[in-house]
Amino acid sequence: MCRSIKPLRRSESDTTTGEIEAAALQFVRKVSNYRTPSARNSEAFETAVAEIASASRRMLETLGVDVVEGPNRWTPGSGSSRHAHPHVADAPGAAAG
């Protein structure tokens, strides 16, 4: 598990819903300490990702950030951290759980 949460939003372009979902997934993984939840915990994990993504989108829109429907465009090495890891680029639907 990474020690720090990586920034996924690009300031020079619109933020996509996929980027918001990827950030929410990264946060839930960090808080829960599970990369992939067990079948028993899957529903709670996915609900948390959806709620955090929704709250994040509302916050960004309140801040005046344009949010567009779209995929997660983040790729390893494109964040501001030089210690980017490939696993943070997983989309919520790509993870098994």
Summarised one tens digit per residue, pLDDT across range 14-67 is: 889 999 999 999 999 999 999 999 999 999 999 999 999 999 999 999 999 889
Spatial distance between the Cα atoms of 68 and 18, rounded to a whole number of angstroms: 9
* Confidence label for 6 from pLDDT (cuts 50, 70 and 90): low
Count of C-beta atoms within a 10 Å radius of residue 3: 6
pTM across the whole model? 0.69
Q: Which two structure tokens, joined as six digits, stand for 31?
A: 């808080």
Domain assignments of the chain as residue spans, ordered by start: 15-89
